[in-house]
Amino acid sequence: MRKPRLMTPGPAPVPEDVLLELARPVIHHRSAEAKQVIVDAIAGLKEVFQTANDVLIFTASGTGAAEAAIINTVPRGKKAIVLNAGVFAERWVKVCKPYGIEAVSLDTEWGQAVDPAQVESALKQHPDAVMVIGTLSETSTGTGHPVDAIGKIVARTAAVFMVDGISGVGAMECRTDAWGIDLLVVGSQKALMLPPGLSFVSVSPKAWAAIDACPTACFYFDMKLARKKMAEFDTPFTPAHTLILALTASLKRMKAEGIENIWARHKLMSEACQAGVTALGLELFSARPAEGLTVFRVPEGLKDSQIRNALFDRFGITTVGGQDRLKGKIVRIGHMGYMDELDVISGLAALEMVLADLGFTVKPGQAVTAAQQVLIGQRAKMPAG
Amino acid sequence: MRKPRLMTPGPAPVPEDVLLELARPVIHHRSAEAKQVIVDAIAGLKEVFQTANDVLIFTASGTGAAEAAIINTVPRGKKAIVLNAGVFAERWVKVCKPYGIEAVSLDTEWGQAVDPAQVESALKQHPDAVMVIGTLSETSTGTGHPVDAIGKIVARTAAVFMVDGISGVGAMECRTDAWGIDLLVVGSQKALMLPPGLSFVSVSPKAWAAIDACPTACFYFDMKLARKKMAEFDTPFTPAHTLILALTASLKRMKAEGIENIWARHKLMSEACQAGVTALGLELFSARPAEGLTVFRVPEGLKDSQIRNALFDRFGITTVGGQDRLKGKIVRIGHMGYMDELDVISGLAALEMVLADLGFTVKPGQAVTAAQQVLIGQRAKMPAG
C-alpha cells in the first residue's frame, strides 16, 4: 500500500467533499443557478482576501491572472518595479517584455526577504513607476515578504501595488485592504483547496483608475470587460464553472473555520515543520519562511532526488525540489490548505526514516518530538469537517 | 421531479464516469503520472482532430486558445481575414484590435454559410494577409461552414488557415490535415464531453513557420513556450490537470465509438431534430445547419423566453436564445457530445407539449414522428458505455 500524500506547495490536497462537488452534472454558465454560484464565490473570496474591492474570476492558471493585472494597468512604454527574489517574481519581469512594459527589477538575494527601505528608495528613483509588483509567499524559495510594510510605502505614491498572492493567500496573513494591496492575484490550487484552473484578482478603486487610463492591451484577460460582466455576476467567456461550484464548497469550509484561525493553523504547522527540520540538523533555506511550505537545503553528500524519491516510493509523499538556480539544492515541503498538524508530523516522521535509510545520522523521533513541542499547548482550530 | 437536461450548444452533458474522474485526488502536475496523462490526452486529441500536427493544451476558455492562435501568428501591423458570419467570428475581429492586427472582416449574412469563392477573391485582394480565420460551426447561428473547400483555397496561398472548431469539432466532420487546417482551436465543454476550462490548438508546420517569424506578443498564451514544454509532455504553467485527467476518460470513450461513428451520430441527431422542428411548422434559422445544434426562429406571437422557460420549468431542459442582433429571435437546442437519438426525441416531445401549452397549433407526436422517420433504418452507433 502507498497512500498518496500531496505535500507540494501547490497543487495542494482538496477535501473529499469538495472533490465530490466536481462530479456534479454540468449546468449552463448563464443560468440563474450559475449566477448564484458566482455570487457565493465572490462573497467568500472577499472574506478570504479581506477586501471590499471587486474580485474578478479568470479561467486560467495564476500566471494568467497576474499577466492580466500587469498588462491592464501598465501602458506600453511605462514602468513597473518588480520586487524580484525568486522564480515567480522573475516571471513577472518576463511578462512585461512582450507588452513593451519597462520592468525595473529590484533584486533581492534568493531566500532573503525584500527590504521595504529598498522599495522606498526605488520609488524615489522611479517616481514614474505605474506599478510595484510584490510577492506574499515566494514559493521557489519558501520566503514570506513583508507585504504589509511595503504596502504602506507604495500607498503614499501614485503607484499601484500588485501582490502575487498565488500560493500565499489563505496560507498566511494577508489583509488586502488594510495593507494597501491594490491588485491581489490568487490561484485556486493552493490554500483555497481546489484543483488548478481558476485564478482571481481583487481590484481597488486606485487600480481601477489606472486600468481605466491604460489602453486595452489584450482580449481574453481584458479586466474592463471582466468588470462589466462581473457586475451581472457573469464572466465574459465560458468559465470553468465546475471549479467555481467546488470553490463555493471550499469557501464554505473556510468560512466555518474562520480566516484568522486558518492563518493561525498555517503558522503553527509552519513553526512545527521548521522545528522538526532543524532538529534533524537540516538548514532552512529562507531567512523569513513563508507559512505554506518549509524549504531546507539538501545536506552534504545527498541528492535532493534521493530524498524526494524515497519519500514518494516508501510513503507516497510528493514533494518538490528547487527550480532554476536552486535545482538540486533544496527540498520544498508544502503544508497548505487541507492540511493539519498530524500531516506535518507524518511528513517529518517519514523524513526521519528516509534520511536514516540514506545513511544520514538521525536519532529517530527527534524531528517529530521537536514539532510536538511546538504544538503542545497550542489550540489551533482544525478544518471544519 | 425535474431532471436536469442540458440541451445547450455548450456546455454539453458530461458522461457520469467522466464526472467521477474529476473527483479523484489531485496529483502533482509535474509527476511521472501526470506526464502520462498528457501523453494519453494528446494522442486522443490527435485522433479526434484527425491530425498528425502538434497539439497544445491551454487552461482557458476556447476564446483564450483562439486569441493565442491569432496573436502568436499575425504580427502587429499585419492582416488577418476573418470570415465573419456570427457572434463568434466577430469575436476574432475584436481580438485583433488591442494587438494592432488589421482584421479584414469578410461579412456573410448571419445564418448563411461563407462562400468559398468570396474567400478566394478576398485572398487575391489581400495577398499580404497572414491568416484566414474561419469557423467550423458558428454556434450563434447554428451554421456549418464549408471549411474543407475554404481550406483548399487557403492552402494555395501563403496565408495560415485558422479554424474556430470550438463547438464544431467532435460534433461534425473535421479532417484537420486533409482539409488544410493549420490552426484548429477546440474547447473542452462541447463535443469532447468535458466541463469548461480547457482549450486546445493543433499547429501545422506552416503555422509554426509563421509563429516563429512573429514577434512574441504575450506571455501566458505564448505558443513557442508551450511547444517547448509540450515536447516534454508538460505545460508552461500549472494546468487544470483534473480536467486533463477527465479528458483522457472522455477520449477513451470517443476512441471506442470511433470518430467516423461519432460524426455519423451527430449528423443523424441533427437531421432528426431538423425534421422534427420543421414538422411543427417552425422555421430553421440556418441555410446550412451545423450538426451539433438546431436553431429555429421564434414563431410569430410567441417570445423565445416563453418557450425556453416552459422547457426548463416543466422538463428541466436548458436551451439558449439568440445573442446580439438575434436576441429574442431564435431558440438554439444543443445535441452534441454525450447525447443520443432518444435525447433528441425527448427534446422534440417536450417542445411539442410546451408549444401546445402556449397555444401554438400543434398536432401531438408530429415532431417525434418526423424525427423517428429519419432515424428508423439508420444504424448510428451509440456512445460506448
Which tens digit of pLDDT belongs to each residue from A240-250? 999 999 999 99
- Quick check: A197 and B197 CB within 8 A? yes
Q: At what angle do helices A32-49 and A241-257 cross, to 10 degrees?
A: 40
Q: Is B382 a domain residue? A: no
For cell 449546468, name the residue: A27
User: For cell 484527425, what's the residue?
Assistant: B50
Predicted TM-score of the model (pTM): 0.96
pLDDT at A266 over 80: yes
Residue of A nearest to B241 (CA): A196
Residue B383 forms part of a structural domain = no
Instruction: Tell me, yes or no, if B6 comes closer than 8 A to chain A by beta carbon.
Output: yes
Helix (H) or strand (E) holding B184: strand B183-187
Task: Using an 8 Å CB-CB cutoff, list chain B residues near A30.
Answer: 320
Structure confidence at residue A382 as a pLDDT band (50, 70, 90): low
Total domains in the fold of chain A: 2
pLDDT the model gives residue A378: 85
Q: A290 with A219, same domain?
A: no
Would you say A133 and A166 are in contact if contact means Cβ atoms under 8 Å apart? no
User: pLDDT at position B385, please?
Assistant: 43
Position A384 pLDDT exceeds 80? no
A214 and A199 within one domain: yes
Answer yes or no: is A359 within a domain: yes
Indicate whether A99 and A236 sit together in one domain: yes
B156: distance to nearest CA of chain A, Å?
31
Span between the terminal Cα atoms of chain A, in Å: 26
Q: What is the CATH number of the domain that holds A303?
A: 3.90.1150.10
Question: Chain B residues with CB inside 8 Å of A241's CB?
Answer: 11, 195-196
Percent of chain A with pLDDT over 90: 96
Q: What is the mean pLDDT of residues A115-131?
A: 98
Q: Where does a domain end: A210, A239, A256? A: A256
Which of B225, B256, B287 terminates a domain? The answer is B256
Cβ within 8 Å of B, A 181-210: 187, 189, 195-197
Q: What is the mean pLDDT of chain A?
A: 96
Contact of B93 with chain A, judged by CB distance below 8 Å, is answered with: no
Q: Are A230 and A41 in contact (CB under 8 A)?
A: no
- The pLDDT confidence band at residue A225, using thresholds 50, 70 and 90, is very high
pLDDT band at A42 (very low <50, low <70, confident <90, very high): very high
Q: How far is A152 from chain B (nearest CA, A)?
A: 30
Q: What is the mean pLDDT of residues A348-361?
A: 97
Using a CB-CB cut-off of 8 Å, the residues of chain A touching B197 are: 59, 197, 239-240, 242-243
Question: Half-sphere exposure of residue A308, counting CA atoms within 13 Å on the CB side?
Answer: 24
Mutate to test the interface with A, among B21, B242, B305 (most CBs of A within 10 A): B242
Q: Say which of B94, B215, B238 has its CB closest to residue A11.
A: B238
User: Do A88 and A164 contact (CB within 8 A), yes or no?
Assistant: yes
A98, B219: Cβ pair inside 8 Å? yes
- pLDDT of A137 higher than 80: yes
Residue A361, class by beta-carbon neighbours within 10 Å (0-12 exposed, 13-18 middle, 19+ buried)? exposed
Q: What percent of chain B has pLDDT over 90?
A: 96
| Residue A380 within a domain | no
Going across the sheet that includes B293-297, the strands are B293-297, B330-334, B320-321
Contact B60 A60 (CB under 8 A): yes
Residue B378: its pLDDT value, please? Answer: 85
DSSP string, B123-176: HHH-TTEEEEEEESEETTTTEE--HHHHHHHHHTSS-EEEEE-TTTBTTB---T
Q: B residues 291-330 near A, CB within 8 Å?
A: 318, 320
By the CB < 8 Å criterion, does A239 face chain B? yes
The cell numbers describing B25, all together, are 485526488
In angstroms, what CA-CA distances link A76 with A218, A224, A305, B102?
A: 12, 17, 43, 19
Whether residues B218 and A318 touch (CB distance < 8 A) is answered with no
CA pair distance A153, B177, nearest whole angstrom: 57
pLDDT for the residue B73? 98
User: Among partner residues B59, B99, B320, which is closest to A61 by beta-carbon distance?
Assistant: B59
- Which pLDDT value is given to residue A377? 85
Cell numbers for B143: 451554421
Determine whether the interchain pair B320/A28 forms a contact, defined as Cβ–Cβ distance below 8 Å: yes
Please check whether residues A229 and A117 belong to one and the same domain: yes
Q: In Å, how far is A30's CA from the nearest CA of chain B?
A: 9
A41, A96: one domain: yes
Question: What mean pLDDT comes out for the span A307-322?
Answer: 97
A156-175: pLDDT as tens digits = 999 999 999 999 999 999 99
Residues of B in contact with A82 (CB under 8 A): none
Domain assignment present for residue A265? The answer is: yes
**Any idea what the CATH number is for the domain that residue A29 is in?**
3.40.640.10
Distance CA A310, CA A296 (A): 16
Residue B380 lies in a domain: no
Mean local confidence (pLDDT), A222-227: 98
Q: Which chain A residues touch B238 with a CB distance below 8 Å? A: 10-11, 61-63, 187, 189, 196
Considering only the beta carbons, identify the residue of A23, A31, A67 that sits closest to B22.
A23
A132 and A273 together in one domain: no
What's residue A283's pLDDT?
Answer: 98
DSSP class of B112? S
The reply to whether A159 and A287 lie within a common domain is no
Q: Is the peptide bond before B116 cis (omega within 30 degrees of 0)?
A: no
Q: How far is CA B292 from CA A313, B146, B181, B248, B263, in A?
A: 47, 15, 20, 22, 10
Question: Based on the domain organization, do A229 and A273 belong to the same domain?
Answer: no
B231 touches chain A (CB under 8 A): no
Residues B281 and B364 in one domain: yes
Last residue of a domain, one of A256, A280, A308: A256
Q: Is A169 in a helix, a strand, or coil?
A: strand
Whether A169 and A243 share a structural domain? yes
Chain B nearest C-alpha distance from A313 (Å): 13
A-chain residues near B234 (CB < 8 A): none
Do B223 and B76 share a structural domain?
yes
If asked whether residues B311 and B289 sit together in one domain, one would say yes
| Cβ pair B218:A20 closer than 8 A | no
Query: In which residue ranges of chain B is pLDDT below 70?
Result: 380-385
Q: What is the domain range of residue B276?
A: 5-9+259-375
C-alpha cell of residue B82: 476573418
> In which band, very low, low, confident or very high, does the pLDDT at A1 lie, cut at 50, 70 and 90?
confident
For residue A143, being part of any structural domain is answered with yes
Q: Per the domain annotation, does B218 fall within a domain?
A: yes
Q: How do strand B129-135 and strand B160-164 relate by DSSP bridges?
A: parallel
Picking from A223, A242, A247 by the largest number of B CB atoms within 10 A of its own CB, the best residue to mutate is A242
Contacts of A80 in chain B (CB under 8 A): none
When pLDDT is cut at 50, 70 and 90, the band that residue A385 belongs to is: very low
